[in-house]
Amino acid sequence: MYSYDEPVYLISVVAKILNIHPQTLRQYEREGLIEPGRTDGKMRLYSQRDIDKIKTILRLTRDLGVNLAGVDIVLRLKERLDEMDNELEELRQNLEKIRCQEDGISKGSIVTKRSSYEIIVFKED
């Protein structure tokens, strides 16, 4: 089984899966919206992450009428929000560790974030 980020799909396969022309994928690459992997022979290879990103691009352009410049802005903002979410979650975990140490709570306490909800699981001793 391949990982989510491993480039394994040829451009013709991706075009067929998504029912788009291969030239559309090349245009998305020229615009900097996607960056497929390359073989030693310079053939484009797409990962499942690339395919999911292309689906997002298609949803924005087809369903919402966003042009490619707008798609670029939306994707950059989404990436930035994801980075900030990860950073915020890391800070929350660090804060929870500090609070546990100060309060003498077992290190078995785990805090994980799901979407915008926090789930707290306490390990029973």
State both tokens at 91: 């800070």
By residue range, what is the domain housing residue 87?
78-121
| pLDDT recorded at residue 22 | 97
Q: Residue 83: phi, psi to the nearest 5?
A: -60, -45
- Sign (positive/negative) of CA torsion 125, 118, 102, 83? positive
| pLDDT recorded at residue 120 | 44
State both tokens at 107: 């290190």
Structural domain contains residue 71: no
Who has greater pLDDT, 121 or 89?
89
Structural domain contains residue 96: yes
Q: How far apart are CA 124 and CA 101, in angstroms?
A: 17
Q: Has this prediction a pTM greater than 0.75?
A: no
The amino acid that residue 4 corresponds to is Y
Whether residues 35 and 83 share a domain: the answer is no
Looking up residue 53, the CATH number of its domain turns out to be: 1.10.1660.10
Structural domain contains residue 32: yes
Structural domain contains residue 73: no
| pLDDT recorded at residue 52 | 94
What pLDDT, in 10s, does the model give residues 1-44? 778 888 899 999 999 999 999 999 999 999 999 999 999 999 99
